[in-house]
Amino acid sequence: MMPLDTTTLDAKLRHLTTAPGVYLMKDAEGTIIYVGKAKSLRPRVRSYFQSGAQHGIKTREMVRRVTDFDTIVVRSEAEALILENNLIKENRPRFNINLKDDKTYPYIKVTAEAFPRVFVTRRLVRDGGRYFGPYTDVRRMRQSLELVKKLYTVRSCHYNLPRDVPARPCLDYHIGRCKAPCVAFQSADEYSAMVEEITEVLGGHTRLVARRLQAEMMKAAEEMNFERAGELRDSIKQLQSLERKQQVLDVSGSDRDIVGFARDGADACGVVMQIREGKLLGREAQFITGLEDESDAEALSAFATRVYADRLHRDADSMPPEVFFGLDFEDRPVLEELLRAEARRAVRLHVPQRGEKVQLVELADQNARHLLEERKLMGNTAAERAPDALYELQEVLELSTVPRLMVCFDISHTQGTETVASAVFFENGEPAKGEYRKMKIRGEWGNDDFASMHEAVTRWFTRRVEEGKPLPDLTVIDGGKGQLGAALKALAGLEALDLPQLAVIGLAKKEEEIFLPGQSTSIRLPRRSPALRLLQRLRDEAHRFAITYNRKLRTKRTIRSELSTIPGVGPSRQKALLAKFGSMRGVMAATEAEIAALPGFGAGLAKKVKEALGGGKAA
């Protein structure tokens, strides 16, 4: 395909419609590299090609490759949403968000035949059948299927009923596992009612079924049919056992989906927790890759659209009346309108603000974090699982990545002398002591903490880059706005190192305030917040490390000042004494002979040392 010249491209842009629709960006080879939707095509498509437009790196690269585009006009924004999802799945454009679902997990399928069958499958086919799952716990899925086959006489044959009819019923009829609808021993209405009850059980609605079985058991017992009553009793127990294994999440007993989301840089995970009659029935997850310019809201929108568009194709009847999200996104009203129209009943998508519903969303977010961590661990991109406190920090500070690597700087001095800096390093929320660094400040500015912080940050990052070690995801400065400003000024002066955009905060101890660059107001986390406790532990460790080094230098200065009062003992001889005997106590305990044996010392100088230290008579 020949690329369009600028004139032709400009002409297509001028004649764009204002109707809703989908646009397909193409490169010089005619390959679709991006698919997007728009409420109004003209302003949306034109925005990519406007001079001076502030696009991210990924979008700029996509626009650079575009040589042509196509548009598809639809009747509504909801139709555009569905068409965009279908085109992305079909073409897998390079610059769209990439979602990978749980296709390896099995489903229980109820076919759309005149006399439906029930079986396990890992393939999702849009043939009108109903799918229950995906089941991450295969054992529970097998128990559900076993219960269905025990309670109901669903057929297992592959006849295309009622067109293909066998001459006589099969063995399942003779052993009581099928009522032979194939030869009209069971009516279509009776079979349909049975299948409807099966879908209720698989959908998590077991209460009505349990009541029916209870009534049948009592009736069988009254009729002295104890064998049948025993079978029903065992079935009720199995049903209750299956119900007990479903975690109770919602005491109100409602049907709802809870959507969780977690992100770590360019990767994210979305989770849908399916709650039916207040119990967790199943979990569906998809991994999202290739996130660069996209916000969390855009990634969540892509995930929600994919999941619920597929749900409508699979089984619109399975849509719950409520879906909770922890984050709002632009397409939520459009998706809600679409789901309501397809399900032919009220469906509400909303973002809870308080109470039990918020706690449910937090639980779903936690599930998403754990799945994302598992995926990273399996891919060896993380040494160990990151704690929830790191995800809370990411959310509070609005970081693009989970702060797995953190460094904290602190300054310590004694009235302007022995000024030192510490840089302690945490990995996945735990100290990495092999990466701790201490520095003796070289500048002669006394107790100017801002200048000392500037020097410490400059030296640490310069050495880090020279050694080729990974840079921190979060840099914490012990102090308020002044110390934070000094650190930012130091980083701005390291242009030659070509540093990426770094996340830097200040943590002031008095009120435990968090200061962010460019913001006048501080952030105050709850005292029991895991994120705050992690920051406090990091800051306290940096303070301890700096204080320890400062005390060590101060002790050395004190010892040397005492030795310097002895005539004939200069700096080099002071070092020799401390190197040999380790401390002032060791020097005092040494004999004249041991001191005299040192290079540069003799019997006379050794005697002076012992007398000066009050040990002449003892010697």
Ranges of beta strands (E only) in 531-578 are none
Cβ(577)–Cβ(612) below 8 Å: no
Alpha-carbon span 377 to 290, nearest angstrom: 18
How is residue 470 annotated by DSSP? P
Alpha-carbon span 492 to 134, nearest angstrom: 50
Burial of 167 (0-12, 13-18, 19+ CB in 10 A): exposed
Q: Which residue, 412, 407, 445, 413, is CA-closest to 427?
A: 407
**pLDDT for residue 454:** 94
Taking only Cα atoms into account, the Rg of the chain, rounded to an integer number of angstroms, comes to 36
**pLDDT for residue 574:** 77
Residue 277: HSE in the Cβ half-sphere, 13 Å Cα cutoff: 13
Cβ(603)–Cβ(596) below 8 Å: yes
CB atoms near residue 382 (< 10 Å): 19
Q: Which residue has the tokens 């800096």?
A: 421
**pLDDT for residue 5:** 55
Residues 6+ apart with CB under 8 A from 137: none
Cβ(427)–Cβ(404) below 8 Å: yes
CB atoms near residue 483 (< 10 Å): 24
Q: Which residue, 23, 22, 27, 92, is CA-closest to 61?
A: 27
Q: Which residue has the tokens 């995800």?
A: 391
**pLDDT for residue 616:** 43
Residues 207-225 as b/e (b if ≥16 CB within 10 A, e otherwise) read eebeeebeebbeebeeeee
CB atoms near residue 554 (< 10 Å): 15
Cis peptide before 181 (omega within 30 of 0): no
Cβ(410)–Cβ(545) below 8 Å: yes
Alpha-carbon span 207 to 24, nearest angstrom: 49
**pLDDT for residue 484:** 94
Cβ(112)–Cβ(131) below 8 Å: no
How is residue 413 annotated by DSSP? E
**pLDDT for residue 378:** 61
**pLDDT for residue 259:** 95
Alpha-carbon span 545 to 567, nearest angstrom: 36
**pLDDT for residue 248:** 46
Q: Phi/psi at 506 (nearest 5 deg)? A: -110, 145
Question: pLDDT averaged over consecutive 10-residue blocks of the chain (619 residues)?
Answer: 58 85 91 92 91 83 90 84 84 85 69 88 77 69 78 84 85 86 88 85 75 87 86 76 53 79 89 80 81 88 88 77 93 91 89 87 86 70 66 87 92 83 92 92 85 94 92 93 93 86 89 89 88 92 91 69 72 80 80 87 84 57
Residue 173 one-letter amino acid: Y
Maximum pairwise Cα distance, the chain: 124
pTM of the predicted protein model:
0.57
